[in-house]
């Protein structure tokens, strides 16, 4: 057993934690240009915050989509010349296991009048006969956003290295009803029973976020539908829309065109205004060309998120090899632009996650793909460790700067839970004002990850249980406010509500993936996910510590804990 039960440990108590949000962080837009850094080759790539098992290009900025064909292909938005946004091409890496990646030459780069000013996001679709096609946004010579297609040059090349852009592009140009500066990121296409392909493109009308719908028989001639697939007032530009079916009461994924049987649909949009990814669960009516979120599935910035942390511009794809739908998201840096330039890289992809519909049919569940477990090395375990108020213990025996930890907390004494005003559901604020050092009734309890030996640096992953007149509410948080002694880092508290019946279950599970500067957590079996980027100065490499703590009145028991040191795959 690698756990030293330092049960005498006392948690430094901090009653008032104040959070200042630096104004200049809040205003970043996806396509903001930093001319001074755009073309700024990295002298050297690396540093103590370089991740080990998260997808990264050899260097520089990423943020991108992906798709599949025999092998796994990940295409991503990439600046070949610098660690900030600019000069964007479709970089290309391939893998047979979603863990080890081999880089190839960029698949698509600006070259023609229809994309000379940019090759932005898009999606891949597999046409009948196993023929892949990419639909992507080009910025044309008039600076309009248009939708183009590209085909593999040689279908016999297992890696589909070269892509050809037909001269008849663009296949979709903005008409008078569409804002040509806000018209991008086509979805994977889906086919309906009448033999038409459909594709949705992100846009806005004034401040109404919208996905414009097109249909085609041959993938070349596209006709705009009379009305959008869906839209919502006051949400601003919808980027990187994703639209796909999910099975009822089954974990397996469905092909994007599947509609028969018991399915619901998911529409995800990336809100440019908040820079987070939101989704609704609802019903798709192909004949009416409409998607309608279920009642209770909210389609604005108060709605469900894939991840309540640093996670944007995600995409899913259907993996027929294992019958699952896989989600990739992009997690940007939270340090300064000049640090990115110094590091020589910026941005990672989160671990690919299987997604499926929860039993209740109201939300999704996400879990790291099973292939990740091939990286698990040395393991330590603990059982039935009781954590009374103010106690903690350290998980020893493995290198915890690169770790996968799975654990279960048994929670008793629910009558001690603090009261919560029934109307208050802003989880992020709850996490911000009730940090891990603010004593509670039931919780805060959880993990301190990437902690320095003296605990001056530590990032908290924790839970807190409240009660309203009718039920208990479980809050899940990431608190990076003490993650580093360095200045100039964005340290937002993140939080989401966790949809588990704590009274019935009596326990909460947590899985956290720790990778140098990435902390990626899955609460309640993947019902609520949070990803943070942190930059410790002392808690790096062998000096990083991992601890479990309880700062609530009620005793909790870590009934089961397993932690693995994670290996480093071949990463580009």
Ligand X SMILES: *[C@@H]1O[C@H](CO)[C@@H](O)[C@H](O)[C@H]1NC(C)=O
Residues that bind ligand X (CB under 6 A): 25-26, 28, 154, 156-157, 179, 181-182, 206, 275, 312, 332, 334, 490
Q: How far is the CB of 64 from ligand X (least distance, A)?
A: 13
Q: How far apart are CA 353 and CA 315, in angstroms?
A: 11
CB of 500 to ligand X, least distance (A): 28
Q: Which is nearer to ligand X, 30 or 565 (CB)?
A: 30
Give min distance, CB of 494 to ligand X, in A.
Answer: 12
Indicate the residue among 243 and 312 with the shorter CB distance to ligand X: 312
- Residue among 8 and 129 whose Cβ is closer to ligand X: 129
Nearer to ligand X, 152 or 444 (CB): 152
Smaller CB separation from ligand X, 472 or 491: 491
The token duo for 285 is 């009516």
From the CB of 213, what's the least distance to ligand X, in Å? 19
Nearer to ligand X, 55 or 490 (CB): 490
170 prior amide bond cis, ω within 30? yes
CA 368 to CA 100: how far, in whole Å?
Answer: 15
443 torsion bin: left (phi>0), alpha (psi -120 to 50), beta (else):
left
Q: How far apart are alpha carbons 102 and 571 in whole angstroms? A: 7
Shorter beta-carbon distance to ligand X: residue 145 or 555: 145
Q: Which residues pair with 104 in a beta bridge?
A: 92
Q: Which is nearer to ligand X, 239 or 299 (CB)?
A: 239
User: Among residues 117 and 560, whose Cβ is nearest to ligand X?
Assistant: 117
| DSSP letter string, 374-418 | GGEEEEEEEEEEEE-TT-EEEE-SS-TTEEEEEEEEEE--GGGPE
**CB closer to ligand X, 88 vs 473:** 88
As a whole number of angstroms, the distance between CA 342 and CA 20 comes to 25
Q: Compare residues 29 and 288 and give the one whose CB is closer to ligand X.
A: 29
Residue 370 CB, nearest approach to ligand X (Å): 28
Tokens representing 246 are: 């999910």
Question: Least CB distance from residue 433 to ligand X, whole Å?
Answer: 20
210 vs 280, which CB is nearer to ligand X?
210
DSSP conformational letter for 295: T
Smallest gap, in angstroms, from Cβ of residue 63 to ligand X? 8
Cβ-based neighbour number of residue 373 at 10 Å: 12
Q: How far apart are CA 291 and CA 232, in angstroms?
A: 12
Distance CA 61, CA 83 (A): 5
The structure tokens 């009653």 sit at: 15
Strands (DSSP E) contained in 178-311 are: 183-184, 190-191, 197-205, 208-216, 223-224, 230-232, 238-247, 263-271, 276-285, 290-293, 304-305
Alpha-carbon separation of residue 445 from 411, 484, 523 (angstroms): 10, 21, 13
Shortest spacing between CB 22 and ligand X, in angstroms: 9
Rounded to a whole number of angstroms, the minimum distance from the CB of residue 549 to ligand X is 28
Q: Which residues lie below 8 Å from residue 538, measured CB to CB, with a gap of 6+?
A: 452, 453, 456, 457, 485
**Closest CB to ligand X: residue number:** 312
Report the residue number, 205 or 251, with the smaller CB distance to ligand X: 205
- Strand pairing category for 507-515 and 402-411: antiparallel
- Nearest distance, CB of residue 175 and ligand X, angstroms: 14
**What DSSP assignment string belongs to 319-330?**
ETTTTEEEEEEE
Q: Tell me if the bond preceding 444 is cis, omega within 30° of 0.
A: yes
CB of 199 to ligand X, least distance (A): 21
Burial letters for 318-339: b for 16+ Cβ neighbours within 10 Å, e otherwise?
A: bbeeeebbbbbbbbbbbbbbeb
Q: Are 452 and 545 in contact (CB under 8 A)?
A: yes
Nearer of residues 312 and 549 to ligand X, judged by Cβ: 312
Helix then strand then coil, in percent of the chain rounded to 5, is 5, 45, 50
Give CA–CA dist 255/265, Å, rounded.
Answer: 12
CB of 203 to ligand X, least distance (A): 9
Nearer to ligand X, 156 or 295 (CB): 156
Instruction: Kindly state the smallest distance separating residue 104's Cβ from ligand X, in Å.
Output: 13
| 398 in Cβ contact with 382 (< 8 Å) | no
Return the number of other C-beta atoms located less than 10 Å from residue 501's C-beta: 11
| Smallest distance from ligand X to CB 416, Å | 36
How far does Cα 520 stand from its chain's mean position?
Answer: 9
Closest approach of Cβ 487 to ligand X, in Å?
14
């Amino acid at each position: 057993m690698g756990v030293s039960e330092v049960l005498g440990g006392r948690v430094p108590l901090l009653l008032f934690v104040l959070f200042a949000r630096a104004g200049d962080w809040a205003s970043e837009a996806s396509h903001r240009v930093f001319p001074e850094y755009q073309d700024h080759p990295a002298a050297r790539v690396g540093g103590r915050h370089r991740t080990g098992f998260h997808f990264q290009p050899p260097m520089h900025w990423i943020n991108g989509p992906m798709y599949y064909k025999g092998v796994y292909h990940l295409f991503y938005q990439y600046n070949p010349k610098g660690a900030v946004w600019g000069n964007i091409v479709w970089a290309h890496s391939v893998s047979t296991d979603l863990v080890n990646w081999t880089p190839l030459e960029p698949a698509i780069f600006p070259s023609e009048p229809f994309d000379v000013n940019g090759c932005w996001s898009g999606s891949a679709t597999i046409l009948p006969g196993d023929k892949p096609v990419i639909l992507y946004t080009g910025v044309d010579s008039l600076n309009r956003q248009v939708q183009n297609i590209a085909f593999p040059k040689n279908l016999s090349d297992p890696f589909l290295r070269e892509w050809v852009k037909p001269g008849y592009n663009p296949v979709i140009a903005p008409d008078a009803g569409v804002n040509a500066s806000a018209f991008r990121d086509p979805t994977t296409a889906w086919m309906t029973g009448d033999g038409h392909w459909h594709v949705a493109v992100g846009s806005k009308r004034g401040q109404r976020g919208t996905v414009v719908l097109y249909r085609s028989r041959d993938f070349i001639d596209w006709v705009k539908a009379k009305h959008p697939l869906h839209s919502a007032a006051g949400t601003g530009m919808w980027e990187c829309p994703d639209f796909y079916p999910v099975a009822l009461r089954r974990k397996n994924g469905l092909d994007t065109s599947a509609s028969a049987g018991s399915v619901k649909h998911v529409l995800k949009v990336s809100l440019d205004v908040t820079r987070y990814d939101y989704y609704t669960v609802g019903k798709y009516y192909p004949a009416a060309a409409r998607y309608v979120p279920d009642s209770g599935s909210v389609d604005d910035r108060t709605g469900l998120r894939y991840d309540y942390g640093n996670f944007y511009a995600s995409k899913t794809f259907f993996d027929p090899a294992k019958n699952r739908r896989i989600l990739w998201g992009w997690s940007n840096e939270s340090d300064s632009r000049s640090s990115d330039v110094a590091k020589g890289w910026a941005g990672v992809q989160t671990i690919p996650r299987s997604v499926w519909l929860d039993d209740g049919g109201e939300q999704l569940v996400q879990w790291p793909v099973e292939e990740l477990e091939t990286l698990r090395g040395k393991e330590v375990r603990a059982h039935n460790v009781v954590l009374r108020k103010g106690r903690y213990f350290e998980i020893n025996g493995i290198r915890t700067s690169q770790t996968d930890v799975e654990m279960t907390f048994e929670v008793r004494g629910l009558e001690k839970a603090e009261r919560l005003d029934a109307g208050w559901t802003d989880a992020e604020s709850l996490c911000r004002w009730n940090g891990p050092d603010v004593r509670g009734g039931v919780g805060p309890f959880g993990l301190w990850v990437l902690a320095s030996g003296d605990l001056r640096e530590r990032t908290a992953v924790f839970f807190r249980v409240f009660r309203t007149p009718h039920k208990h509410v479980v809050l899940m948080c990431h608190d990076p406010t003490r993650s580093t002694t360095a200045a100039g880092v964005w340290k937002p508290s993140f939080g989401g509500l966790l949809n588990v019946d704590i009274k019935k279950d009596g326990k909460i599970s947590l899985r956290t993936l720790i990778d140098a500067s990435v902390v990626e957590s899955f609460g309640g079996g993947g019902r609520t996910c949070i990803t943070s980027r942190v930059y410790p100065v002392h808690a790096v490499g062998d000096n990083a510590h991992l601890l479990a703590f309880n700062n609530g009145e009620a005793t909790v028991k870590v009934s089961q804990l397993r932690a693995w040191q994670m290996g480093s795959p071949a990463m580009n």
